[in-house]
């Protein structure tokens, strides 16, 4: 008869332990007016497949994959997307600064900062990173938080004041730092609950401290050295204080190659150095460029056809000369090769000046001689401006 009370006591103790130690995802059925934590059961874990996928996107098109399926209400327009991204980024950075939590820009978002301290206007992805311990701290203390944001927090002169709410949702699978089955490479999301747009937050951990000490990795196979990341540089991004990795130039060059730091036309946008902005091309400009490419392609094909015709005529003439017993000079073949070579040279793109980017195979033995890197970058609005300040020949 005493077995039943003992079992009930054990069950109660088990629930208390789960509540105390496990990181619980939020319940998205209600929204509180302040930083309120909401929880629901942890997703199932099976030995065969690993963790079940936690974050879900509507799917169907590439654009719809940039929305959280719980809050998506359709694809935003170009202008609506830009407005949402500016405020979601400002709110995210404000939240982390107010709570004294370190985070920094990553991937395409870091590349946008490099150009002009803003997001790339064609990019739907917003990426940030945190350290592994910070990720666990977020899961324990801030998971399910709703952040009440208004634009006056970051820009008091902005009128009218924008008021929005954002959700910090931490993936329970953060307790495992390897890739697993690939369904949970994103560790957390900062979600605009009006439309489902989000910031992907990934954690970096020393997954192999014995074999590769000082190498930090995420679940998506991006690797960084401690000297690449620290000390962090403080700068400005979308009008608010942000942080970027110390060796941001090396990180960008390794991830995107140097051409991403100098190409001034991409995804229907053109870089205007006079105003330091990426401007979307008009339909007429895009149409004219398409026609120009078609004309260049047609000209190239015509030149190739003419070369082939000339070659056939020469071969025919040589064959006729051989049949008549006439000598065929070797200079003809030499001239033919020279002609083909010069024609090929004529259709090649002009050679570009070598790109000068600081990209060393190994970390420098000593840090840059800048006295206060953080203050220097605070005076600059982008990585491009920072390189100009350091008198590196970088012309864009």
Query: Do the beta carbons of residue 383 and residue 248 sit within 8 Å?
Result: yes
Q: Is the pLDDT of residue 367 over 90?
A: no
**What strands, in cross-sheet order, belong to the sheet with 146-150?**
104-105, 127-131, 198-204, 188-192, 163-170, 146-150
16-33 per-position pLDDT tens digit: 443 444 444 444 333 333
pTM above 0.85, yes or no: no
Q: Compute the average pLDDT of residues 24-50.
A: 43
DSSP state at residue 231: S
- Per the model's pLDDT, the better-predicted residue between 257 and 340 turns out to be 257
Comparing 52-66, 78-92, 302-316, 332-346, which segment has the lowest mean pLDDT? Answer: 332-346
Higher per-residue pLDDT: 333 or 251:
251
* Among 147-151, 307-311, 365-369, the range of highest mean pLDDT: 147-151
d(CA 252, CA 263): 14
Tens of pLDDT, residues 49-65:
578 999 999 987 888 88
d(CA 49, CA 167): 28
DSSP string computed for 125-157: --EEEEEHHHHHHHHHHTTT-EEEEEGGGT-TT
Q: Round the average pLDDT of the chain to a whole number and report it.
A: 78
Asked if 269 and 121 touch (Cβ cutoff 8 Å), the reply is: yes
Q: What angle do CA 222, 226, 228 make, to 5 degrees?
A: 70
Please report the pLDDT score of residue 215 as a whole number: 95
| CA 312 remoteness from chain centre | 51
Angle in degrees, 0-180, between the axes of helices 331-347 and 283-324, rounded to the nearest 10: 180
pLDDT at 353: 45
Q: Which residues does residue 67 pair with via DSSP β-bridges, in sequence order?
A: 197
Residue 389's pLDDT band (cuts 50, 70, 90): low
């Amino acid at each position: 008869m005493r077995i039943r009370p003992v079992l009930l006591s054990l069950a109660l103790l088990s629930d208390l332990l789960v509540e105390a130690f496990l990181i619980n995802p939020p319940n998205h059925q209600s929204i509180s007016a302040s930083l309120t934590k909401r929880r629901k059961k942890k997703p199932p874990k099976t030995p065969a497949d690993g963790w079940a996928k936690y974050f879900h996107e509507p799917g169907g098109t590439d654009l719809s994959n940039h929305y959280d399926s719980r809050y998506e209400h359709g694809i935003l327009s170009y202008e609506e997307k830009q407005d949402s991204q500016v405020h979601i980024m400002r709110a995210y950075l404000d939240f982390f600064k107010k709570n004294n939590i370190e985070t920094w820009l990553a991937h395409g978002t870091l590349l946008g900062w490099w150009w002009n301290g803003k997001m790339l206007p064609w990019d739907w992805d917003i990426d940030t990173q945190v350290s592994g311990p910070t990720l666990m701290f977020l899961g324990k203390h801030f998971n399910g938080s709703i952040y009440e944001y208004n634009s006056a927090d970051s820009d008091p002169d902005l009128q009218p004041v924008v008021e929005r709410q954002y959700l910090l949702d931490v993936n329970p699978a953060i307790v495992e730092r390897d890739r697993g089955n690939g369904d949970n490479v994103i560790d957390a999301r900062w979600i605009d609950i009006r439309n489902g747009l989000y910031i992907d937050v990934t954690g970096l951990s020393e997954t192999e401290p014995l074999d590769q000490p000082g190498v930090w990795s995420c679940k998506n196979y991006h690797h960084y050295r401690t000297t690449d990341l620290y000390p962090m540089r403080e700068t400005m991004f979308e009008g608010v204080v942000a942080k970027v990795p110390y060796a941001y130039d090396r990180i960008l060059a390794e991830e995107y190659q140097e051409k991403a730091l100098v190409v001034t036309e991409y995804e229907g946008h053109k870089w205007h150095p006079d105003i330091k902005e990426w401007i979307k091309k008009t339909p007429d400009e895009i149409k004219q460029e398409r026609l120009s490419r078609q004309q260049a392609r047609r000209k190239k094909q015509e030149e190739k056809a003419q070369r082939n015709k000339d070659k056939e005529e020469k071969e025919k003439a040589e064959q006729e000369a051989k049949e008549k017993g006439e000598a065929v000079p070797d200079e003809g073949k030499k001239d033919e090769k020279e002609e083909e070579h010069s024609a090929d040279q004529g259709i090649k793109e002009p050679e570009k000046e070598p790109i000068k980017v600081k990209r060393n195979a190994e970390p420098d033995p000593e840090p840059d001689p800048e006295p206060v890197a953080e203050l220097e970058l605070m005076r600059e609005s982008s990585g491009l401006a920072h390189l100009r300040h350091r008198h590196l020949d970088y012309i864009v």
